[in-house]
Amino acid sequence: MSATQTAQLMDGTGLAGRIVEEAAARAAQISQHTGTSPCLATVLVGEDPASVTYVRMKRARCAKAGIRSRHIALPAATTTAELIDTLAGLSDDPDVHGILLQHPCGPHIDERAAFEAIAPHKDVDGVTAHSFAAMSFGLPGFVSCTPGGIMRLLEAYDVDLTGRRAAVVGRSAILGKPVGMLLLARDATVTYCHSRTADLPDIIREADVVVAAVGRPRLIRGEDIKPGAVVIDAGYNRGNVGDVDFDAALTRARLITPVPGGVGPMTIAVLLAQTVDAAADQLGIEHH
Ligand code: NAP
């Protein structure tokens, strides 16, 4: 720890490890009771190297946790209608409990239409409108994995959100928007910021909790972090750089996620946990 560091690091790797262990134990129980292990279908359109790596990583984690995965690799020229057919087929297949459509799918695909072909009870990545509504209304359902992971991190570090000002920077359908909804559900006062936000530094200076979900290296300056704030950096930029100027933020924040090892590992952990939940539901096993 440097002389000026004040923040405690939020250990996503450690927490994710514990969540995956628990998911693995439940997956083993499910196979013992039903003779069927949880199965995640992964769908990839094209061969974008980053997407190939992400899917490989997710499948490897599944295998380690005793979750089967079935990979469907579609050619880059796949149309939206063909992709929807594939996803609808998986939605109807009783041997598949969860479905992950790796995105971005490519500019020629209507991604929203494709996501909506995933049956809500198999939407373990939390990408459908149904899941978003469930998150927003506080109804049972799957959460988007990265927002779900962020909330679990906040819980693990006993961050009291009631009445706190939270600034969410980024408003994507899978990250910024849902994490704002989950923070709101925990009684935070949420401000969404985006590329048209005029006074981002002013909003950050007031925030007790900052969630950075942009994809711009060090967009959030350390000097703008309110002393004692909780800083969650979901951003990932080349060279293991987050959206927050980590070194400077470290001297002002109370809690901060490192990049890597903060939010990243939590995303896959939530995916695995939700796949096991989906299998338990579909196979008629009681939740723990
Ligand atoms: P995205 O769809 O590209 O959305 C980025 C958001 O940032 C948009 O809402 C955009 O605003 C906003 N934005 C862009 N420039 C900005 C600026 N100068 N000031 C304020 N806001 C700005 O990205 P995403 O999929 O949400 O991902 C965001 C980041 O999280 C990326 O670095 C990604 O790699 C990372 N990520 C990490 C994980 C994980 O597992 N750790 C998972 C998913 C994503 P507009 O809406 O106005 O365009």
Domains of the chain: 35-120 (3.40.50.10860), 145-263 (3.40.50.720)
For residue 63, count CB atoms less than 10 angstroms from its CB and return exposed for 0-12, middle for 13-18, buried for 19 or more.
exposed
Of 58, 122, 177, 226, the catalytic one is: 58
177 belongs to the catalytic site: no
Structure tokens at 67: 């979750």
Plot region of 66 (φ>0 → left; ψ -120 to 50 → alpha; else → beta):
left
274 belongs to the catalytic site: no
Q: Is the CB of 169 under 6 A from ligand 1?
A: yes
Once rounded to an integer, what is the mean pLDDT over residues 19-24? 98
Once rounded to an integer, what is the mean pLDDT over residues 239-244? 97
pLDDT at position 287, please?
Answer: 63
Give bridge partners of residue 98 from the DSSP assignment: 40
Q: Given the CA of residue 175, which atom of ligand 1 is nearest to it?
A: 26
Structure tokens at 258: 């490192």
Please give the full DSSP string across 188-249, using - where no structure is assigned. Answer: -EEEEE-TT-S-HHHHHHH-SEEEE-S--TT-B-GGGSPTT-EEEE---BTTTB-SB-HHHH
pLDDT at position 3, please?
Answer: 53
Plot region of 228 (φ>0 → left; ψ -120 to 50 → alpha; else → beta):
left
Residue 5: band (very low, low, confident or very high) from pLDDT cuts 50, 70, 90 = confident
Q: Is the CB of 197 under 6 A from ligand 1?
A: yes
**% of the chain beyond a pLDDT of 90:** 97
Task: With a cut of 90, say whether residue 2 has pLDDT above it.
Answer: no
Residue 264: band (very low, low, confident or very high) from pLDDT cuts 50, 70, 90 = very high
Once rounded to an integer, what is the mean pLDDT over residues 150-160? 98
Question: What tens digit of pLDDT does each residue of 50-63 get?
Answer: 999 999 999 999 99
pLDDT at position 286, please?
Answer: 75
Q: How many CB atoms lie within 10 A of CB 161?
A: 22
Of 123, 125, 243, 245, the catalytic one is: 125
Once rounded to an integer, what is the mean pLDDT over residues 135-140? 96
- Segment holding 106, helix H or strand E: none
CA distance 13 to 7: 17
Once rounded to an integer, what is the mean pLDDT over residues 257-261? 97
DSSP letter for 109, please: S
Once rounded to an integer, what is the mean pLDDT over residues 266-279? 98
Question: What type of residue sits at position 1?
Answer: M
pLDDT at position 163, please?
Answer: 98
Please give the full DSSP string across 4-44, using - where no structure is assigned. Answer: T--PEE--HHHHHHHHHHHHHHHHHHHHHHHS---EEEEEE
C-alpha 193 – ligand 1 centre gap (Å): 11
Mean pLDDT over each residue of the chain, to the nearest integer: 97
The answer to whether the annotation marks 170 as part of a ligand binding site is yes
C-alpha 57 – ligand 1 centre gap (Å): 21
What pTM was estimated for this model as a whole? Answer: 0.97
Helix, strand or coil, per DSSP, at residue 166: strand
